[in-house]
Amino acid sequence: MKKMTLRILLLSVCLQSGCGKSIVRTTYTPIYAVLVGLTSGPEKEEEVVVDETKFFHQATGFLLDKTGLVVTNYHALVGYPNIRVFFSHKDRMFDAEVQLKDIDNDLAILALKDFNYEEIFSGDVPYSLKSSTRVQLSEEVFTLAFPLGKVLGSSIKFSDGRISSLNGLLDNTSLFQISNPIQAGSSGGPLFDSEGNLIGIALASADAEYFYEDVDVIPPDANFAIKSDQLSTLLSTLPESKEIMERDGTLKDKPTQEQVSAILPYVVSVYVK
């Protein structure tokens, strides 16, 4: 699988900073950054659009509640009308459709079809949604995702790090910068704090090629996550929002290993075609 490159920069910002190359502003996610989108899949849409029989792993997502709402990145879905969500611990696949999207903040909420929570889980969703305004610089954080598809294997991957900055590139206040190493396919993976609270959604890495060509430096561990408050704003339009946003988590004071074990079943692979 090849990674799909996502470069995003407002032209006005580029001109002000004296950029020496032409930057593509995407039509579907104007987050003000120069990033490599962390979806996995063919480099050109045509390689899969013409093959209507094959779904491929594009991103990661996570379950929000018992009704079957799943969060992922919007850029992972652009150009692919057919979506499936896979729960690996039960070997169950569900068709899904986009119920809500926030193009500016690159978020999508999927609704699973024919989903029965009790057939998959025996307990409640264990994590709560924490406001990103309560997150502090240097906090320990971790992500769970399915990066690089078959290359790294189909099992979920754990990645830990810290909050490197409370803002993204160009001081974008809707993003965190994190030191967690993340790869293609990690898009849409949940970001948790040390108490197992959901504080963000993995988005992208700085585009090393762009930085090397334009400023002669490759930024180490410059990765980014969408803040949880952007998700809360999107959720506020749904009838389920109050229950989701006021849900108490059950992971506080537990060791990281127990937190990860409890969260694992709720992290999903997102397939598209």
CB atoms < 10 A from the CB of 55, how many? 17
Q: How far apart are CA 120 and CA 92, in angstroms?
A: 8
C-beta separation of 200 from 228 below 8 A: yes
pTM (2 d.p.): 0.81
Q: How far apart are CA 29 and CA 67, in angstroms?
A: 27
For the chain, what is the HEC assignment?
Answer: CCECCCCCCCHHHHHHCCCCCCCCCCCCCCCCCCEEECCECCCCCHHHHCCCCCCEEEEEEEECCCCCEEEEEHHHCCCCCCEEEEECCCCEEEEEEEEEEECCCCEEEEEECCCCHHHHCCCCCCCCECCHHHCCCCCEEEEEECCCHHHCCCCCEEEEEEEEECCCHHHCCCEEEECCCCCCCCCCCEEEECCCCEEEEEEEEECHHHHHHHHCCCCCCCEEEEEHHHHHHHHCCCCCHHHHHCCCCCCCCCCHHHHHHHHHHHEEEEEEC
C-beta separation of 60 from 187 below 8 A: yes
Which residues neighbour 93 within 8 Å (Cβ) at sequence distance 6 or greater? 84, 85, 86, 87, 271
Model pLDDT for residues 109-121, shown as the tens digit of each residue? 999 999 999 999 9
- What does CATH list as the number for 1-273? 2.40.10.120
Which residues neighbour 15 within 8 Å (Cβ) at sequence distance 6 or greater? none
By DSSP bridging, strand 198-206 and strand 69-73 are unpaired
Model pLDDT for residues 115-155, shown as the tens digit of each residue? 999 999 999 999 999 999 999 999 999 999 998 766 555 78
Q: How far apart are CA 82 and CA 254, in angstroms?
A: 38
The stretches in the chain having pLDDT less than 70 are 1-53, 149-153, 206-221
Domain residue ranges in the chain: 1-273
Sign of CA pseudo-dihedral 69, 75, 81, 86 = negative
Residue with tokens 């906090």: 139
